[in-house]
Amino acid sequence: MNLEIENNTIVKPFSVGWAQTDGIMDDPDNHVERYLSKLTNMFADSDAAAAYLEEKGDVLLYEVYEKSIPRRDGELQFCTSITHPGKIGNEYFMTKGHFHARRDTAEVYYCLNGSGFMLMEKENGEHGLEKMYPGRAVYVPAYYAHRSICTGNVPLISLAVYPGDAGHDYGSIESGGFKHIVVEKNGKPEVIENPRYGRMADN
């Protein structure tokens, strides 16, 4: 991408609609789909992920619909994030999660449908877990990695808004993971310590 051209792009006023129940944007510029086959290692029980793939085939874990906004200070990125229901072992389907490349940038998620959690963790281990359900908004402060986790039976759908130049840093989560994971225990979601914390990249 040519950043110079992108940074000089003038954004005209526009609006966009999406169905509240499925989160599909009317006229997206980009549709990202993340499948289990590429993400087996992000689950604490990566053997269970491999077994799931073997038995049930590949499955769509989550997707994002977004408009193309210049990646510069002053603009706002916005998208719908859709995390599908399901579990690997007892760990719920979730997004990869990331820090913003520009660490001093926050984000707001407004839940449109479904239910689950936003897990937020700082590099020093401080964490927060907020419930997500329709009508609830979550504020992800600057410096917190964040991940959406779907704990219901229908997709967890949110509108996310964040600074234009925030960027995404996936590397540290891919290698170290989050310190906490959300699993089903006795039929209910529970947050526990990640047994593979710090060594997610190992097999």
Binding mask 6-45 for Zn ion (x = CB under 5 A): ----------------------------------------
For the CB of residue 153, give the shortest distance to Zn ion in the complex, in Å.
25
Our CB check for Zn ion shows the closer of 93 and 162 to be 162
Distance in angstroms between the alpha carbons of the first and the last residue of the chain: 34
Instruction: Record the tokens describing residue 129, joined without a space.
Output: 């877990």
Q: Single out the residue of 66, 91, 107, 121 in contact with Zn ion (rule: CB under 5 A).
A: 107
Q: Nearest residue to ligand PAN, using CB?
A: 81
For the CB of residue 115, give the shortest distance to ligand PAN in the complex, in Å.
16
Our CB check for ligand PAN shows the closer of 19 and 76 to be 76
For the CB of residue 29, give the shortest distance to ligand PAN in the complex, in Å.
14
Q: Is 80 helix (H, G, I), strand (E, B) or coil?
A: strand
Instruction: Record the tokens describing residue 183, joined without a space.
Output: 């699993």
- If one counts every other C-beta atom within 10 angstroms of the C-beta of residue 155, the result is 22
Residue 180 contacts which entry, Zn ion, ligand PAN, none (Cβ below 5-8 A, type-dependent): none
Distance CA 112, CA 37 (A): 27
Our CB check for Zn ion shows the closer of 49 and 173 to be 173
For the CB of residue 140, give the shortest distance to Zn ion in the complex, in Å.
7
Q: Are 103 and 155 in contact, with CB atoms under 8 Å apart? A: no
Output the CA angle 178-51-49, nearest 5 degrees: 15
The footprint of ligand PAN (CB under 6 A) covers 64, 79, 81, 95-98, 107, 146, 148, 160, 162, 166, 168
Instruction: Record the tokens describing residue 62, joined without a space.
Output: 């989550």
What residue type is assigned to position 13 of the chain? P
Taking alpha carbons only, the member of 109, 53, 57, 47 closest to residue 81 is: 109
Binding site for Zn ion (CB under 5 A): 107
